[in-house]
Amino acid sequence: MERRLSIPVGVIIERTAVDTAWQSHVWRPAGVLVGETGLTAGTLLRDDDRTATYFAGGARLELHPSDVDSYRDNLEQVVPRIYVVLAETADDATPVVLLVTAAPDEASSYFDGDGRMVDGVPMGSEMAGLIAAYVGEHARPATPDKRRYREQPRPAGDATRVHVEAPS
């Protein structure tokens, strides 16, 4: 039984025009495709007045047994997500894909800024099926809490239990 699973994916990103004094546009992940696409990173897929959609490049979504609980939590959400981490480039070209993950806690570790963008995109049904199968195969059964609690002796003078005799 293979413990890790590596799924080839293609990342779609959008460049949207914004009207601010600090920047002219923002980049954000727009989708993740399962499998090899045959496209070249930076390929323009669609362009309208405000938004341009590009193929950012291929990557591999790596599933690890140690992250099964995180994948399961993600799958239980109303809209499960695939998280994409992008790195800005110095020449304002198409951002580079650093990471694609199904583990929200792994994605959150990249929120330190430093020229990186982290965002989640809805997980498609094909990807959800692959991840659910992996979780089912690698989930560890819940182990009961083995700690035993003993009732501690009460200190002398503890008034929580008072014996009162009936009057005679």
Whether the pLDDT of residue 11 is over 90: the answer is yes
Torsion, CA 79, CA 97, CA 39, CA 93, rounded to 10: 120
Whether the pLDDT of residue 162 is over 80: the answer is no
Average pLDDT over residues 1-17: 88
Average pLDDT over residues 37-42: 90
How far is it, in rounded angstroms, from Cα 63 to Cα 139? 12
How far is it, in rounded angstroms, from Cα 94 to Cα 34? 21
Structure tokens of 44? 């323009």
How much is the pLDDT for 133? 95
Average pLDDT over residues 136-140: 86
Residue 146 vs residue 55, higher pLDDT: 55
**Residue 37 in contact with residue 8, Cβ under 8 Å?**
no
Range among 47-51, 88-92, 154-158, 160-164 rated most confident: 47-51
How much is the pLDDT for 18? 87
> For residue range 87-128, what is the model confidence (pLDDT) as tens digits?
888 776 788 999 999 999 999 988 876 778 899 999 999 999
How much is the pLDDT for 85? 94
What is the share, in percent, of the chain residues with pLDDT greater than 70?
A: 82
- Beta bridge partners, 61, equal 7
End-to-end CA distance of the chain: 78
How much is the pLDDT for 7? 95
How far is it, in rounded angstroms, from Cα 39 to Cα 124? 20
Bridge-based pairing of strands 116-122 and 81-87 is antiparallel
How far is it, in rounded angstroms, from Cα 53 to Cα 155? 71
